[in-house]
Amino acid sequence: MMDQGSRSELEARIGYEFKDVQLLRESLTHSSYANEQGESALRSNERLEFLGDAVTGLEVAVLIFEKGPGMSEGQMTAVRASLVQTEGLAAVARRIGLGEYLLLGVGAEKTGVRENETVLENAFEALVAAVFLDGGQEAARGIIQRFFTEAVTEKIQGFADDRYDADYKSRLQEVLQKNGAAEIIYKVRGESGPDHRKTFTVSVIMDDRELGSGTGKTKKSAEKMAAKNALEELKCI
């Protein structure tokens, strides 16, 4: 059984206090531990994982729906898929430090299962289900909002940036094609800064002539600025 200190620590991390501690324990019980213990009443987190998968998907979808009123069905689906895939859920589990609390069998412990992405994904889903059963849908929604709001906002902004990029780049292409211009290319002229905070400089070129250049934190944003600046030089905006 989890000691009181570990339980309180985990509850503080997720922002929820369990009424039924057995549900919390079950959510953290890997099948290897349940099998090794051989206790008929001890269940692994697999059933909770099944429920938690559905609850997580629903609540992430609600969050996307609320935060992205201008998004299409396809865009919302893409955002949800990127967040609830194994890598995304395992990343949230790591933020919580969920691997520290898993109950594992001796063999599984030796093979490094505690840091396995699928195991972490399953444990997070099981934890969401445990919260759902213990405190209801609002409690589960609170967990999802706590750990996904920032990521959902960033993903939605990413789609907005992509549309913004496409507007300038498409508009420049249309302007030039109307004047019989050949195809344009975007060329990276330089990169600066550390790997996690790079700044890119990109030029938009037609027939070896630079029409405009721009900088940005990503190549896409730099291309957007290059196209925007080219349109300004051409007096099209």
Catalytically active residues, by annotation = 53, 125
Rounded to whole angstroms, how far apart are CA atoms 65 and 84? 15
Cα angle vertex 191, ends 187, 192, to 5°? 160
- Side chain identity at residue 145, one-letter code: Q
116, 133, 105, 115: which is closest to 27 by C-alpha?
133
Question: For 95, how many CA atoms within 13 A lie in the half-sphere containing its CB?
Answer: 13
- What are the CA-CA distances from residue 207 to residues 172, 176, 186, 213 (Å)? 15, 12, 12, 15
